[in-house]
């Protein structure tokens, strides 16, 4: 079964502030109120709910971050969500490290075809058109 783990900062996320400034410099000043970035992991493995919860906690720095499992991590209403991951065939070093962390903790190697895939998810809060969002996504 595939499970989604999203990790967000509990403190001010300077990455999100930098992205917001970059988007504003593209001509979207005043249209974007806030950008929220989640580090996302798709865990495609035969793990039970307790193992997925523990895996999420292993990937999260509990002092700085919080996680959600199979739910949207953003509590505020957002206008758009953009997820950026690697193309098939490109080495996913972050995903591979997450997979190795989970395997090492449970002392259980993943089976053939099981994997962890990492991505970044951008939640855009504001008033943007679909054309605006496509332009932003092309520049991520």
pLDDT in tens, 92-107: 999 999 999 999 999 9
pLDDT of residue 1: 87
Show the tokens assigned to 97: 């490290």
pLDDT of residue 77: 92
Q: How many CA atoms lie within 13 A of 62 on its CB side?
A: 5
pLDDT of residue 25: 95
pLDDT in tens, 12-54: 999 999 999 999 999 999 999 999 999 999 999 999 999 999 9
Domain CATH code at residue 77: 3.30.1280.10
pLDDT of residue 19: 96
How many domains is the chain partitioned into structurally? 1
For range 104-124, the mean pLDDT = 96
Q: Give the burial string for 81-109 (b: 16+ CB within 10 Å, else e).
A: eeeeeeeeeeebebbeebbeebeeeeeee
d(CA 38, CA 50): 22
Global pTM reads 0.92
What domain range is 12 assigned to?
A: 2-138
d(CA 9, CA 13): 6
pLDDT of residue 76: 87
d(CA 134, CA 3): 27
Show the tokens assigned to 17: 């502030």
């Amino acid at each position: 079964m595939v499970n989604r783990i999203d990790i967000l900062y509990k403190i001010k996320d300077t990455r999100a502030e930098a992205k917001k400034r970059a988007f504003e410099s593209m001509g979207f000043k005043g249209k974007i109120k806030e950008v929220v970035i989640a580090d996302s992991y798709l865990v495609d493995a035969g793990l039970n709910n307790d193992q997925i919860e523990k895996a999420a906690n292993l990937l999260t720095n509990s002092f700085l971050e919080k996680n959600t499992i199979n739910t949207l991590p953003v509590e505020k209403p957002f206008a758009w969500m953009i997820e950026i991951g690697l193309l098939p065939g490109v080495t996913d070093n972050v995903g591979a490290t997450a997979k190795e962390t989970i395997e090492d903790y449970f002392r259980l190697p993943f089976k053939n075809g099981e994997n962890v895939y990492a991505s970044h998810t951008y939640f855009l809060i504001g008033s943007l058109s679909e054309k605006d969002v496509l332009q932003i996504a092309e520049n991520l």
